[in-house]
Amino acid sequence: MNLLDAHGAALREFDETVHRVTGGQWDAATPCTEWTVRDVVNHLVSEQLWVPHLLAGQTLDEVGDRYDGDVLGEDPVAAWERASAAAREAWLEPGALGRRVHLSFGESDATLYGWQMTLDLSVHAWDLAMGIGAPQPIADDLAEELLIRVGSQLKAIQGTDLLGEEVPVPADAPAADRLLGLAGRDPRG
């Protein structure tokens, strides 16, 4: 699975889960203990808003704090739809994957950024699904690819303020469960 296909699949997973949120679920708790359903969606919308800027070569300082705080407004689903469509369009621009982007840890290849964004979409789709009582959304083929592409990166940041400790899962567990365990989530919910 190439990056653009994986990203598209993860984006669809998150999108389908966002569209399952009902009016009374926005304040529901999620496995991200400090975040509600609304907070998870706000985080992902904010991340998508950054994509066109970073892929266009802007630095963090140039983008500034414009996407801090609540970026959802009165219609979280519409905010998600707009931001995710613009981000996907930026990823699909010719040459986008060959660019360099400015990230919090320095300059990086756009492909690394793309795999990180794909991982975040998938893991947070699961967080969102658990918060609203929806089925686990991560497809096994996508999870397998993410384990190959970013599994070692997840291991490197476990136990930091970015990621909790690994949750042990059986080696023969489905790929999505193994990915979630590496991401500090208990796949049993």
- For the chain, domain boundaries: 3-138
**DSSP code, position 173:** S
Categorize the per-residue pLDDT at 159 as very low, low, confident or very high, splitting at 50, 70 and 90: low
pLDDT confidence bin for 152, thresholds 50/70/90: confident
The per-residue pLDDT for 14 is 98
CATH number of 3-138: 1.20.120.450
Distance between first and last Cα of the chain:
27
Q: Is the model's pLDDT at 156 over the cut of 80?
A: no
pLDDT higher than 90, residue 151:
no
Residue 36 dihedral angles phi and psi, to the nearest 5°: -85, 175
> Distance between CA 17 and CA 46 in Å, rounded?
17
The pLDDT confidence band at residue 17, using thresholds 50, 70 and 90, is very high
Banded pLDDT at 161 (limits 50, 70, 90):
low
Q: How confident is the model at residue 22 (pLDDT cuts 50, 70, 90)?
A: very high
What are residue 107's DSSP bridge partners? 102
In this structure, which amino acid lies at residue 13? E
In the block, tokens 């621009």 appear at: 93
**Which pLDDT does position 166 carry in this prediction?**
82
What are the pLDDT digits (tens) for 103-142?
988 899 999 999 999 999 999 999 999 999 999 999 999 9
pLDDT-derived band at 149 (thresholds 50, 70, 90) equals very high
The rounded percent of the chain whose pLDDT value lies above 90 is 84
Helix (H) or strand (E) holding 62: helix 60-63
pLDDT at 162: 65
171's CB contacts (< 8 A; 6+ apart) are 178
Half-sphere exposure of 123 (CA within 13 A, CB side): 25
